[in-house]
Amino acid sequence: MILSDKYELIKKNFRRFAEKEFTTEIQENLDRNGGFNWEIWEKIGKYGFTGVKIPTQYGGQGGDYMAYALMNEEFCRVCPVLGIYANTPNSLGGGPLLQCGNEEQRQKYLAPAARGEKQIVFALTEPGAGSDPGSMTTKAVADGDYYVINGRKCFISGAPIADYAIVYARTDLTQKGGRGISMFIVDLKLKGVSFGKPEAKMGINGYPTSDIVFENVYVHKDDLLGPLHKGYAVAMKTLDGGRLGVAAQALGAAQGAFEEAVAYVKERKQFGKPIYYNQGVSFMLAEMATEIEATRNLVYSAAEAKDHDASNAATLCSMAKLYATEMANKVCGQAIQLHGGYGYIKDYKVERLYRDVRVMTLYEGTSQVQKIVISRDILK
Amino acid sequence: MRIYVCVKQVPDTSGKVAVNENGTLNRASMDTIVNPDDLNAVEAALELKDELGCQVTVVTMGPPPAKAMLRELLAMGADDAVLISGREFGGSDTFATSQIIAGALHNLGVGDEDIVFCGRQAIDGDTAQVGPQIAEKLGIPQVTYAGNIQKDGNKLVVKRLLEDGYMVVEVFTPCLITCVKELNEPRYMTVKNIIESENKPILVLDYEALKDEELIDLDSIGLKGSPTNIFKSFTPPQKGEGVVYSDSVEVMSKKLTEDLVKKHIV
């Protein structure tokens, strides 16, 4: 797909920012020590990357899904952690507010998130409710002007550093599955909110993940997001857009690993010449490049479908996520293979990229869940 | 108040430098970038715009593809752009170029409160002559090597960064300032500005538009009219790798002397 001049410029700007600002030193430091880099967060906010696809009237940049996909691609090409920093407010955090927040809620919560002043995270998953979120046990019971929330959410990306969370809880206890679930905007400073300790993860170190526990948390009814009992459908729709973001993340990370591999095979000499002289090596590069390019076309066309509100957009996003994340795992593995033993050493970037992409076939719907979504659309 | 920023599209010399047989740069085969010092000039103008709300106009002379560079500067936050472009202007040296740009600025109008910003020098020619010559031809004061700029009413207080120290100069507008990289950190574009930049105007001034301009002498522009002739240009041969000594001062001094003697330097 040929990008227009506008998108080329958007892409170039993201690349420039990522290459210059998210230095190897910052990346390695975050990977080794975890935590969160507030300095880069401020820069991301300053340039509005936190609100790329949020409309200007809500503090965003007014970009579309294509701009959003390009950001995820280019940021993750340099480092997936950077991509995730900028992705969250645009996607899972801001998405539900944009979809069904009232004007007051959007100005109060969405605008500061779009400007990078506040952080909102998405709290759907529970210890016993992952691929089947309808089995959640967190509940919210009405009490005068308030809802009282009790329950535990787990694997919440960004929870330890967040100001607010979009929390899903069952409000109609007589209903089962996706019915009877509502969304709330919860200020994480409220009494009764506590956090688990940040998880020790395989990759994406530098963006902390933890449980959030709710014990008799009183949330005002003004912070009920969208219609009562109808939150589940919004969650599913938010996840569609999020899947496009994850697909673009995987695409970028694969591109980054591929570029590392190309540079390495030119520099590494064995048997008296650079190793790319061996067809076994050069053919691997050809396959990797072809798979990346095929993925890029799928991701961009899914973005275009979202921007045109095409009827197959949700399915395309699932296809893009399925294909891109599986491809990225494969390509990052091949990039390590081309590095030989050095690829297993932490001094080489491919080692980190390999660990970082591993989560992408898991979060925001596993590859198997994507297959359920895609096949359901085929067989409907 | 209007700020003009003169910018140049230059080959990206961080990659491979290609030279034509006649000694000129083979620009077509090289990636192009905005001249780095010019980005500092744009940033200086945008900071004044953020503070005072003035109009920022970016001006360049070059072939039609230079429009892409102007779009980038509009996406950084400039309000409008001017492209001076014509076959008759091609091959101009600094004398001819500054004359044409001064003519174009005169044509656009430089008012009492206006400022012209330039980068210190371009990375392709490294002459640092165009900015000062524009000021001379416009008959306005110039301050070069600005490392800090403060606006104070109708004057600017400029800190000039020089090799052996600095100098603080006050200058009344209209004036021309050339900027060094220490002045600021150029901003990135934003998605919002990129989208908006599509509707910002780029005015093209060609030979017809400028041929009657009083500051331009038609006999001394373009390749033919330029007093400078390039004798030869080439990529200098790579020097050998450096050597690092690390030991006590006595041992290193001895080793250095031996090596210099070996190479017949001393």
- Across the range B122-129, mean pLDDT stands at 83
pLDDT of residue B23: 67
Compute the count of residue pairs across chains A and B with CB atoms less than 8 Å apart. 40
User: Domain range spanning residue B10?
Assistant: 2-225
Q: Is residue B202 within 8 angstroms of chain A, CB to CB?
A: no
> Which positions in chain B touch A56 (Cβ < 8 Å)?
192
pLDDT of residue A235: 84
Is B218 a residue whose pLDDT tops 90?
Answer: no
Residue B33 is assigned to a structural domain of this protein: yes
CB contact under 8 A, B192 and A62: yes
A117 has catalytic annotation: no
SS3 state at B93: coil
pLDDT of residue B122: 87
CB contact under 8 A, B190 and A61: yes
Residue B134 is assigned to a structural domain of this protein: yes
Residue B101 is assigned to a structural domain of this protein: yes
Amino acid at A85: Y
pLDDT of residue B24: 67
Q: How many residues does chain B have?
A: 266
> Which positions in chain A touch B191 (Cβ < 8 Å)?
10, 13, 48-49, 52, 61-63, 67
> Which positions in chain A touch B187 (Cβ < 8 Å)?
47
Q: What is the per-residue pLDDT across A326-345, written as a single tens digit (0 to 9) for each?
A: 999 999 999 999 999 999 99
| CATH number, domain with residue B48 | 3.40.50.620
CA distances from B147 to A25, B154, B161, B203 (A): 29, 19, 6, 30
pLDDT of residue A288: 98
Of A108-117, A370-379, B238-247, minimum mean pLDDT range: B238-247
Of A30-34, A203-207, B119-123, B203-207, minimum mean pLDDT range: B119-123
Is A215 a residue whose pLDDT tops 90?
Answer: yes
For residues A276 and A282, what is the distance between their CA atoms, to the nearest angstrom? 5
Residue tagged active-site, from A74, A126, A326, A364: A364
Residue B232 is assigned to a structural domain of this protein: no
Is B234 a residue whose pLDDT tops 90?
Answer: no
- Across the range A55-64, mean pLDDT stands at 96
How far away is chain A from the Cα of B187, in angstroms, using its nearest Cα?
A: 9
Of A139-143, A287-291, A365-369, B211-215, minimum mean pLDDT range: B211-215
pLDDT band at A222 (very low <50, low <70, confident <90, very high): very high
Of A5, A6, A47, Cβ closest to residue B190:
A47
Place of tokens 């230095």: A23
**Which DSSP string do the residues of B25-38 spell out, in sequence order?**
B-GGGS-EEE-HHH
Is B108 a residue whose pLDDT tops 80?
Answer: yes
Strand pairing partners for A167? A123, A184
For residues B218 and A165, what is the distance between their CA atoms, to the nearest angstrom? 68
- To test the contact with chain A by mutation, choose from B31, B71, B191, B199 the residue with the greatest count of A C-beta atoms within 10 A, namely B191
Cβ–Cβ under 8 Å, residues A45 and A115: yes
- Across the range A198-209, mean pLDDT stands at 96
For residues A127 and A151, what is the distance between their CA atoms, to the nearest angstrom? 10
Residue B117 is assigned to a structural domain of this protein: yes
Q: What is the pTM of this model?
A: 0.91
For residues B242 and B207, what is the distance between their CA atoms, to the nearest angstrom? 51
Q: Which residue of B has its CA nearest to A18?
A: B188
For residues A245 and A323, what is the distance between their CA atoms, to the nearest angstrom? 13
For residues B149 and B147, what is the distance between their CA atoms, to the nearest angstrom? 7
Total domain count for chain B? 1
Residue B246 is assigned to a structural domain of this protein: no
Q: Which residue of A has its CA nearest to B187?
A: A47
DSSP code for A221: G
pLDDT band at A237 (very low <50, low <70, confident <90, very high): confident
Of A104-118, A259-273, A295-309, B85-99, minimum mean pLDDT range: B85-99
Residue B235 is assigned to a structural domain of this protein: no
For residues A70 and A302, what is the distance between their CA atoms, to the nearest angstrom? 12
- Across the range B151-159, mean pLDDT stands at 93
Residue B254 is assigned to a structural domain of this protein: no
Q: Where does B139-262 have alpha helices with state H?
A: 191-197, 207-210, 222-225, 249-262
pLDDT of residue A274: 97
**Domains, chain A, with CATH or none:** 5-114 (1.10.540.10), 120-229 (2.40.110.10), 233-379 (1.20.140.10)
Cβ–Cβ under 8 Å, residues A334 and A288: yes
Angle subtended at Cα A69 by Cα B187 and Cα A154, rounded to the nearest 5 degrees: 105
